[in-house]
Amino acid sequence: MLDHTPAADLTIDDMQTAHDRIKPYIRRTPVLRSDFLNDLTGAQLFFKCENFQEAGAFKVRGACNAVFGLSEDMAARGVCTHSSGNHALSLSYAAGRRGIPCNVVMPHTAPQAKKDAVRRYGGTITECEPSTSSREATFAEVQARTGGEFVHPYNDPRVIAGQATCSAEMLEQTGGVDAVIAPIGGGGMISGTCLTVSNLASETAIYAAEPEQADDAYRSFKAGHIIADDAPKTIADGLLVPLKENTWHFVSNDVTDIFTASEDEIVEAMKLGWKYLRVVMEPSSAVPLATILKNPEAFGGKRVGVIVTGGNVDLDKLPWLQG
């Protein structure tokens, strides 16, 4: 570990500090099981249901850690960010709980349910095109105008330390697992998972799951350096963004492997989750189950913690009911 990214300085104490700070504002989400899905996969699956967080996603953990860690002076100027959805509404939720302004840049293609939720929590939206370049240009304008503290959706050690609290709870609730798997987009959840699991359960394998149609993390992992797509397209709208230096630190050092799934496999896994777990999981959250079904050699016979990252879905547009 010769890199000098801020993430390299994170320790398990940062996770514990984050957990103590955010506990009043987050839920200790339950771990659900399904005998049917266990039979189907040949594994013992423990679904950590972050879709039951108030804002419907794990991202309230990182957002709350960033917002409630601000000094009074910094907090007074509010926070701002760009996000494909769940970080936007999680930061709005956190800012609303602290009573400070929140400005978010979102692609106009983001699901209506996520835009509605941002506004409900008191956030202000500025829309951009669904590309990394447009998002970054629009955000620069918003940040300059508002002067708010930038809380990046994942490339921020405060956010990573917050996300790390999820797998700490999961390890406690399950009594330990052989492997843990989470979706990977920008890498915030995986990085937090690496921080916790590599310190508290170093024998546990850490897998990431990614859509084939947005497989920049997979290709980066295999190449040994960050490769970014500019405008990937996948139903898993939470996973469109590229790795950055702080999440690459964890992905390159601690991840065991990355698996990918096709769009059809993601939709099929999503429907299985709704049917047999009876939880509303968004497409991004179904990618791990899709890859578990495809890779029995990695998961068969294992105890596997599966992070269900979010549940913000447009109920009027379910993918298995689209022509």
Footprint on this chain of a copy of itself (rule: CB under 8 A): 27, 30, 32-36, 51-52, 54, 56, 113, 120, 271, 274-275, 277-281, 311, 315-316, 318, 320-321
Distances (CA, A) of 181 to 61, 210, 225, 256: 18, 11, 21, 10
Residue 257 CB, nearest approach to a copy of itself (Å): 29
Residue number, 54 or 178, with CB nearest to a copy of itself: 54
Lookup: tokens for 230? 């500019």
Sign, CA dihedral 77-78-83-87, equals: positive
Structure tokens at 227: 């490769």
Q: Answer yes or no: are the C-beta atoms of 109 and 134 closer than 8 Å.
A: no
Q: Nearer to a copy of itself by C-beta: 4 or 120?
A: 120
CB of 113 to a copy of itself, least distance (A): 7
Residue 308 one-letter amino acid: V
Q: How far is the CB of 297 from a copy of itself (least distance, A)?
A: 26
The whole-angstrom separation of Cα 12 and Cα 84 is: 28
Nearer to a copy of itself, 171 or 280 (CB): 280
- Shortest distance (Å) from residue 100 CB to a copy of itself: 18
Closest approach, Cβ 122 to a copy of itself, in A, equals 13
Contact predicate 199/12, CB 8 Å: yes
Query: Distance (Å, rounded) from C-alpha 286 to C-alpha 277?
Result: 12
- Minimal distance in Å, beta carbon 36 to a copy of itself? 7
**Is 180 within 8 Å of 189 (Cβ atoms)?**
no
Query: If we measure between CA atoms, which residue out of 43, 29, 28, 97 comes closest to residue 289?
Result: 43
Nearer to a copy of itself, 56 or 238 (CB): 56
Pairing mode, if any, of strands 149-150 and 179-183?
unpaired
Question: 27 or 98, CB closer to a copy of itself?
Answer: 27
Closest approach, Cβ 165 to a copy of itself, in A, equals: 18
Q: Which is nearer to a copy of itself, 123 or 311 (CB)?
A: 311
The nearer residue to a copy of itself, 17 or 38, going by C-beta atoms, is: 38
* Residue 292 vs residues 36, 268, 320: alpha-carbon distances, Å: 14, 12, 20
Q: How far is the CB of 175 from a copy of itself (least distance, A)?
A: 15
- Helical H segments across 23-156, by residue range: 35-41, 59-68, 72-76, 86-98, 112-120, 132-146
301: left (phi over 0), alpha (psi -120 to 50) or beta: left
Nearer to a copy of itself, 243 or 281 (CB): 281
**Closer residue to a copy of itself, CB minimum distance, 243 or 269:** 269
Q: At what angle do helices 86-98 and 112-120 cross, to 10 degrees?
A: 10
Min. distance of Cβ 119 from a copy of itself in angstroms? 13
